[in-house]
Amino acid sequence: MFLGYVGLLLFMVGDGVESGFIAPFMADHGAGDEIHASYVITAYGVAVMLASWLSGALSELWGPRRVMWIGLAIWLVFDVLFLAVAVPSENYPLMLITYGIRGFGYPMFAFGFLVWITAVAPVARLGAAVGWFYFAFTGGLPTLGSLVASFTNPALGHYGTLWLSVGILAAGGLLCVLGVRERTGFTRLAPEGVKPVQSLVSSVSIAWKNPRVGVGMIVRIINTAPEFGMLVFFPTIFADQIGFGEGRWLLLVSVIYGTNIFFNLIFGVASDRIGWQRTIFWFGAIGCAISILLLYFVPTSLGADYYWVALLVGALYGATLAGFVPISALLPSLAPENKGGAMALLNLGAGAAAFVGPAIVSLFLGPAGAAGVVIIFAALYIVAAVLTRFLKLPEATRKAIDEDVSLQDVTAVRP
């Protein structure tokens, strides 16, 4: 799977190049202001949410590799339309449509690969396997993507940088789908008798048939909703209001997620030893509730002269955000008899975060202000901590961990 991880990293670099400036860029090229730009990003988030769910359900039916091909094609086609037609004409409706549909692309690609990983990795080392996934995922979006933008924006401008991202993403996507030769992902994962409608219904009904999976999906939404939300309005606050400027804001983003990618590995490996649930509760939920408050209130209180302090609290948020990594191992392990449905809900939660975060900003930035939105994000992390207490592994999964087999084999070892 090595080339898959490398290809995913490049793919997410291409996707993440825009993360530090896309909202103000759209405001200046057709959206008009940040509020209207947030509507575009929210539409994108809805598409991401739907595609994330479909990536799990369709991977069961068609195989992860085919789903990844579809996601790569959607991203490339609609991003080219966005850049070549919508942006030059400053056509806001067309911007809304093309950028929104593009949102179907990256979840089908990235989370299709995550389904592939969870299908073949031994359960006892699943935390480490998904840790490597998020090392590549967040290594690109937005860590190295923002770092690339910090160098290319002065030379190519925002528009030129966005075109460069298309090439980077295409190279990574092709390396991933053509380079991975592990055969499990080439074929459907569901039993032969399972029909498309049955699979899709099962991927939703598991939320009430196995309530722990539904609770886990909510925790997964809370995991990254603040991350997506803060990227909508933090660029203006940190670059303009505090006075860091775009370059130092992009460097701060790189520090946040550069720290995050290494702690993805650390918490991924450590969680296999100290427990997935314990890692999520203390390091993820409680840690993020504290660190996101520090990330906003410390720099806004101290001002531009204390940039180094902003880097420290940014690194702390990146580290604690990685505490949620084991959720991708925990959730499918809660339902070994329907791991495809659990993965579909896991991916739905990941995609819903891209909608929920910007939606919270759209609803509350005006009446509550930036500080109010950040406090809402911190409160959500406390909710995630409470919910995590309900996520206890079934006996079948514990037996699979003892026997060092994969989720594909869990049903064979159920008592």
Selected from 3.40.50.10490, 3.40.1280.10, 1.20.1250.20, 3.40.50.620, the CATH number assigned to the domain covering 2-182+205-413 reads 1.20.1250.20
For residue 183, give both structure tokens.
């055969």
pLDDT of res. 12: 95
- Domain layout of the chain by residue ranges: 2-182+205-413
Greater confidence (22 vs 218) lies with 218
Q: What is the mean pLDDT of residues 216-244?
A: 92
Residue 85 CA to residue 103 CA, distance in Å, equals: 17
| Residue 170 near residue 76 (C-beta atoms within 8 A) | yes
Greater confidence (335 vs 296) lies with 296
Burial code of 162-194, b = ≥16 C-beta within 10 A, e = fewer? bebbbebbbebbebbbeebeeeebeebbbeeee
Query: Hey, how many other C-beta atoms are within 10 angstroms of the C-beta on 379?
Result: 12
Q: What is the mean pLDDT of residues 389-407?
A: 73
* Confidence band for 415, pLDDT divided at 50, 70 and 90: very low
pLDDT of res. 34: 75
Residue 188 CA to residue 197 CA, distance in Å, equals: 15
Q: Number of C-alpha atoms within 13 angstroms, CB side, residue 91?
A: 14
User: Residue 403: is its pLDDT beyond 80?
Assistant: no
Q: pLDDT, tens digit, for every residue of 26-50?
A: 998 888 787 788 889 888 988 988 8
For residue 106, give both structure tokens.
């990256």
Share of the chain above pLDDT 70, in %: 95
Share of the chain above pLDDT 90, in %: 54
Residue 409 CA to residue 415 CA, distance in Å, equals: 13
Q: What is the mean pLDDT of residues 246-262?
A: 87
| Residue 132 near residue 3 (C-beta atoms within 8 A) | no
**Against a cut of 0.85, is the pTM above it?**
no
Q: pLDDT, tens digit, for every residue of 174-208?
A: 999 999 988 888 888 777 776 767 777 777 888 88
Residue 217 CA to residue 224 CA, distance in Å, equals: 12
